[in-house]
Amino acid sequence: MPDFMLENNDLVKTANLNDFSTLQLAQALSERLTISPNDWHKLKSNRKARSREQAAVALVFLLKEQPDDNEALSRLQQATAWLDRSISAPPCPSHGATDLVN
């Protein structure tokens, strides 16, 4: 792996990437790129963050080699839609319309 692809050379020292399957590495990447509940408000409209999140999940579905690739395709389409601005973040459920109680 070229040095420019590593953010931290200590990663190579602490774990040999060959010890993990491609699926395990993709799952770790997906977990790393998933927007946490604490960061949701800050990143929900961040197009690159949302696209990375969806693309990583799509990769996991592709590597699982399921007979139906619809989920992987759907996630890749969502990743593309975030980048081409054809979708936007939905409103936060906790800030949505309030029910009036009489």
Inside any domain, residue 7: no
pLDDT at position 65: 83
Inside any domain, residue 101: no
Inside any domain, residue 51: yes
For the chain, percent of residues with pLDDT exceeding 70: 75
pLDDT at position 10: 60
* pTM score of the predicted model: 0.73
Overall domain count for the chain: 1
More confident residue, 5 or 29: 29
What tens digit of pLDDT does each residue of 32-49 get?
999 999 998 899 999 999
Q: Could you tell me the pLDDT band of residue 6, with boundaries at 50, 70 and 90?
A: low
Inside any domain, residue 5: no
Residue 70 amino acid letter: N
When the pLDDT of each residue in the chain is averaged and rounded to a whole number, the result is: 83
| Interhelix angle 47-63/22-33, nearest 10 degrees | 160
Inside any domain, residue 30: yes
Inside any domain, residue 90: no
What tens digit of pLDDT does each residue of 78-90 get?
999 999 999 998 8
Q: Which domain holds residue 32?
A: 21-85
DSSP secondary structure, 17-76, as one string: GGGS-HHHHHHHHHHHHSPPGGGHHHHTT-HHHHHHHHHHHHHHHHHTT-S--HHHHHHH
Inside any domain, residue 2: no
CA 7, CA 93: separation in Å to the nearest integer?
Answer: 36
**9 is written with which tokens?**
């050379």
